[in-house]
């Protein structure tokens, strides 16, 4: 949206600071002040707003500003994470359903667009919304109409929609993952929330605020930074933005017990770039430019696929054998092809993954020497997995899967989108796995 031409539309510094104090926003950067100014101006209207910005940059705070100073402030406000709702139930969550609309629908249910009538709905991660749901949302935005799942009755609602995303929706449109008409309908008034690295000295203000809060909570002295540490903090990229900075502030407050001296740059660097050693060893030498964590994940996923294929094949053999045993001529077939079914009841030896010494992982790619004979043996052992499989219980595949998910989340600062990409699965699948294994983020 173009900047306001009239000075009368612009808030003065005192008004902007009052908004910051009310909603707990820390910072003085021009980009942040501009975003607040746009949010306040658009709040008086009923226009749809699209808030863009990286994960952890504080987009939800702007949705609350828009609702709280609008004419709908006495109406309901609800924030919905579209990426956290399974695809099969999101229509029911948003628009409701009738009794018997699907298996398990024992009663009719009101959706969020019905319960928040007269208020504001904040749709976070709207880029993760399924295409079918996008079509329903477009109808609501255009004429305020929607239909419950399993119903044919058209209902009306008067809800203001504020959406947010941390992905480039135009790229999603070009890739066929987001409707173009919905994008332009949502993007009536865009608000860009700057990432932490673009906010200059706001980083220091936020760090001081967080450390003071944590020192009060844990009843310890507040953390101080020396000049080198402050410069390092301002140069850091902060891929996790404010959420990451808050975590770092809490860690330092708890773990640094000697607070008589200010934290120096070397100490702070340990928290900005933590070393996370892995107890697992490589299965094969790393290729030049290959990331070890990615290699571990790819190989372990490959092992899981191979083990599952072998187990499925064994179950299929058992099924075929049972069918043949009950057929008139099945006995003759089993007798003629005993080799196909001989391995069903035989114990399967455990295969331990081949390893290489940790020193081989630390050797720079340019100077690394490879033992071709040993490498060949290791490849042979890996290929033998196709024919020799360990017992499912002994390998604890679920434990390995949980371990991989935790590692991917830590490596990507608990950003599900990038963790899911590293694991080669969808973000929705990752969310279900997190719930399944009760993983704390």
Query: For residue 293, what pLDDT is reported?
Result: 47
Higher-pLDDT residue of 362 and 219 is 219
Q: What is d(CA 10, CA 15) in angstroms, rounded to the nearest whole number?
A: 10
Give how far the C-alpha of residue 336 lies from the chain's centroid of Cα atoms, to the nearest Å.
54
Own/partner contacts of 225-229, CB < 8 Å, gap of 24 or more, are 225/262, 225/263, 225/268, 226/262, 226/263, 226/264, 226/265, 228/264, 228/265, 229/262, 229/263, 229/264, 229/265, 229/267, 229/268
Confidence of residue 248 (pLDDT cuts 50, 70, 90): very high
Number of residues that this document lists for the chain:
441
Give how far the C-alpha of residue 105 lies from the chain's centroid of Cα atoms, to the nearest Å.
29
Higher-pLDDT residue of 368 and 80 is 80
Query: For residue 103, what pLDDT is reported?
Result: 82
Beta bridge partners, 49, equal: 162, 189
- Three-class DSSP category at 330: helix
Query: For residue 162, what pLDDT is reported?
Result: 97
Report CA torsion sign: 166, 167, 168, 173.
negative
Beta bridge partners, 160, equal: 120
Q: Give me the chain's average pLDDT, please.
A: 80
Q: Which parts of 99-240 fold into alpha helices (H)?
A: 112-115, 131-143, 169-174, 180-186, 202-218, 227-235
- Three-class DSSP category at 219: coil
Query: For residue 362, what pLDDT is reported?
Result: 39
The yes-or-no verdict on residue 410 having pLDDT over 70 is yes
Query: For residue 295, what pLDDT is reported?
Result: 45
Report the percentage of the chain scoring pLDDT > 70.
Answer: 74
Report CA torsion sign: 210, 214, 216, 221.
negative
**Structural domain boundaries in the chain:** 7-194, 198-272
The yes-or-no verdict on residue 7 having pLDDT over 60 is no
The per-residue pLDDT for range 418-429, each reduced to its tens digit, is 888 877 788 878
Query: For residue 417, what pLDDT is reported?
Result: 84
Query: For residue 209, what pLDDT is reported?
Result: 95
- List, as one string, the DSSP characters of 199-217: STTHHHHHHHHHHHHHHHH
- Three-class DSSP category at 90: helix
Query: For residue 294, what pLDDT is reported?
Result: 47
Instruction: Decide if 191 contacts 38 (C-beta within 8 A).
Output: yes
Confidence of residue 404 (pLDDT cuts 50, 70, 90): confident
Q: Does CATH number 3.40.50.300 belong to domain 7-194?
A: yes
Query: For residue 301, what pLDDT is reported?
Result: 67
Tell me, yes or no, if the pTM score tops 0.85. Answer: no
Q: What is d(CA 436, CA 441) in angstroms, rounded to the nearest whole number?
A: 13
Query: For residue 339, what pLDDT is reported?
Result: 65
Query: For residue 127, what pLDDT is reported?
Result: 94
The yes-or-no verdict on residue 226 having pLDDT over 60 is yes
Q: What is d(CA 397, CA 353) in angstroms, rounded to the nearest whole number?
A: 13
CATH number of 198-272: 1.10.8.60
Which whole-number Å values give the CA distances from 95 to 134, 210, 260, 302, 316, in the listed order?
A: 12, 39, 57, 40, 43
Higher-pLDDT residue of 376 and 399 is 399
Query: For residue 344, what pLDDT is reported?
Result: 62
Query: Does 7-194 match 198-272 in CATH topology?
Result: no
Beta bridge partners, 154, equal: 147
- φ and ψ of 238, to 5 deg: 50, 70
Q: What is d(CA 59, CA 50) in angstroms, rounded to the nearest whole number?
A: 10
Query: For residue 141, what pLDDT is reported?
Result: 95
Confidence of residue 434 (pLDDT cuts 50, 70, 90): confident
Query: Six-digit token pair at 192?
Result: 């860009």
Instruction: Decide if 156 contacts 139 (C-beta within 8 A).
Output: no
Q: What is d(CA 163, CA 195) in angstroms, rounded to the nearest whole number?
A: 18
For residue 256, what are the contacts with CB-CB under 8 A and spacing of at least 6? 223, 263, 267
Instruction: Decide if 220 contacts 394 (C-beta within 8 A).
Output: no
Choose the weakest-confidence range: 2-11, 162-171, 243-252, 319-328: 2-11
Report the percentage of the chain scoring pLDDT > 90.
Answer: 53
The per-residue pLDDT for range 41-98, each reduced to its tens digit, is 999 999 999 999 999 999 999 999 999 999 999 999 999 999 999 988 999 999 999 9
The yes-or-no verdict on residue 4 having pLDDT over 60 is no
Instruction: Name the residue among 375, 318, 385, 324 with its Cα closest to residue 350.
Output: 385
The per-residue pLDDT for range 278-337, each reduced to its tens digit, is 444 433 344 444 444 444 455 666 666 777 777 777 777 777 777 767 766 666 666 666
């Amino acid at each position: 949206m173009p900047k306001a031409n009239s000075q009368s539309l612009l808030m003065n510094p005192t008004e902007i600071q009052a908004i910051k104090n009310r909603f707990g926003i820390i910072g003085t950067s021009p980009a942040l002040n501009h975003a607040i100014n746009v949010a306040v101006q658009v709040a008086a209207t009923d226009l749809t707003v699209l808030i863009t910005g990286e994960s952890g940059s504080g987009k939800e705070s702007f949705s609350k500003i828009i609702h709280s100073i609008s004419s709908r402030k006495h109406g309901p406000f609800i924030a919905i994470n579209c990426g956290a709702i399974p695809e099969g139930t999101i229509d029911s969550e948003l628009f409701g359903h009738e009794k018997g609309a699907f298996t398990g629908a024992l009663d009719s249910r009101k959706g969020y667009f019905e319960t928040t009538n007269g208020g504001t709905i904040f749709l976070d991660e709207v880029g993760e919304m399924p295409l079918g749901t996008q079509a329903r949302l477009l109808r609501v935005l255009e004429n305020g109409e929607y239909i419950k799942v399993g119903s044919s009755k058209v209902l009306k609602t008067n809800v203001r929609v504020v959406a947010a995303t941390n992905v480039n929706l135009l790229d999603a449109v070009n890739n066929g993952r987001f409707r173009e008409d919905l994008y332009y309908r949502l993007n009536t008034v865009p608000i860009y929330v700057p990432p932490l690295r673009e906010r200059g000295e706001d980083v220091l203000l936020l760090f001081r605020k967080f450390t003071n809060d944590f020192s009060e909570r844990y009843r310890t002295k507040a953390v101080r930074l020396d000049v080198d540490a402050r410069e390092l903090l301002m140069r850091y990229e902060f891929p996790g933005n404010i959420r990451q900075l808050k975590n770092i502030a809490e860690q330092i407050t708890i773990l640094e017990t000697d607070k008589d001296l200010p934290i120096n740059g070397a100490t702070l660097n340990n928290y900005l770039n933590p070393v996370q050693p892995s107890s697992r060893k490589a299965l094969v030498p790393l290729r030049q430019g290959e990331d070890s964590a990615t290699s571990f994940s790819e190989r372990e996923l490959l092992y899981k696929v191979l083990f599952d294929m072998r187990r499925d094949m064994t179950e299929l053999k058992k099924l075929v054998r049972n069918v043949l045993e009950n057929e008139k001529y099945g006995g003759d077939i089993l007798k003629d092809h005993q080799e196909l079914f001989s391995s069903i009841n035989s114990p399967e030896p455990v295969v331990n993954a081949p390893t290489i010494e940790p020193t081989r992982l630390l050797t720079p790619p340019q100077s690394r020497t490879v033992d071709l004979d040993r490498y060949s043996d290791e490849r042979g052992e890996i290929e033998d997995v196709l024919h020799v499989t360990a017992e499912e219980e002994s390998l604890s595949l679920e434990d390995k899967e949980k371990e991989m998910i935790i590692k991917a989340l830590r490596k990507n600062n608990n950003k599900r989108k990038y963790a899911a990409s590293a694991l080669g699965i969808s973000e929705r699948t990752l969310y279900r796995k997190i719930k399944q294994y009760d993983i704390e983020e």
